Structure 1
């Protein structure tokens, strides 16, 4: 059964995985984000109850 022969496909998979791990991934991780997270304190908003006209 030729599906179980890993000879050509294992090398292609290994080569693509290594190229992603050592070439592409460090380039992607070196980009800086434009919006850095801030340490803003979230204030709770005070809500007023709705006055229903028919009650």
Structure 2
């Protein structure tokens, strides 16, 4: 069963993960966001209960 032979596929997977982790990911993490996060104060709204006609 050739799909159980990890010889070529493990090396390809390992090199692709190393490329992502060591080269691509640090470059992506240096980008700044256009909208900076800020502390937003949330207002609570008054909830009105539904009045059921049969109770």
Q: TM-score, normalised by structure 1?
A: 0.71
Q: Secondary structure at the match of 1:34?
A: coil
Alignment: residue pair count: 48
1:1-55 alignment, distance < 5 Å: 1-44=1-44
The runs of 5 or more residues in structure 1 that have no matched partner are 47-55
Runs of 4+ residues deviating >2 angstroms: 39-46
2:30 and 2:2 map into 1 onto residues whose CA distance is 41
1:13 and 1:42 map into 2 onto residues whose CA distance is 46
Q: TM-score, normalised by structure 2?
A: 0.71
